[in-house]
Amino acid sequence: AQSVTQPDIHITVSEGASLELRCNYSYGATPYLFWYVQSPGQGLQLLLKYFSGDTLVQGIKGFEAEFKRSQSSFNLRKPSVHWSDAAEYFCAVGANYGGSQGNLIFGKGTKLSVKP
């Protein structure tokens, strides 16, 4: 069965420091991978997505992610974190179950705190 693991429940980084959020997936075929961010009191917003091609994907707000098939990973990175990046981040994989192709399976999320 498809699954997504985000090993870190909570990460704290200093403002201006670099960030890497981990995501590992389990999926039998070519995965379709997504990163979403949820600010407090808000819905989820898409940061970036990977379907095929270049394994380094650029997203909004200065985020990028790298797909590594050999490691079944799709880690999210940002070179310099801003206080406004404090939020919860969700990795998701496009799943195909029940004959449908539109479902997403989400990880449990990583909460990011940013200290001054």
Partner 1 sequence: ETGVTQTPRHLVMGMTNKKSLKCEQHLGHNAMYWYKQSAKKPLELMFVYSLEERVENNSVPSRFSPECPNSSHLFLHLHTLQPEDSALYLCASSQDYDSYTDTQYFGPGTRLTVL
Shortest gap between Cβ of 59 and partner 1 (angstroms)?
A: 12
Residue 90 contacts residue 35 (beta carbons within 8 Å): yes
Per CB under 8 A, contacts with partner 1 among 82-101 are 90, 94, 98, 100-101
* Cβ nearer to partner 1, comparing 67 with 81: 67
Query: How far is residue 41's CA from residue 29's CA, in Å, rounded to a whole number?
Result: 35
Read off the tokens for 34.
């997504």
Name the minimum Å distance from CB 75 to partner 1. 18
Chain centroid, CA 34 distance in Å: 6
Closest distance of CB 15 from partner 1, Å: 26
- Taking the C-alpha atoms of residue 98 and residue 115, their distance in angstroms, rounded to an integer, is 44
Site for partner 1 contains 106 (CB under 8 A): yes
Q: Is residue 22 within the footprint of partner 1 (CB under 8 A)?
A: no
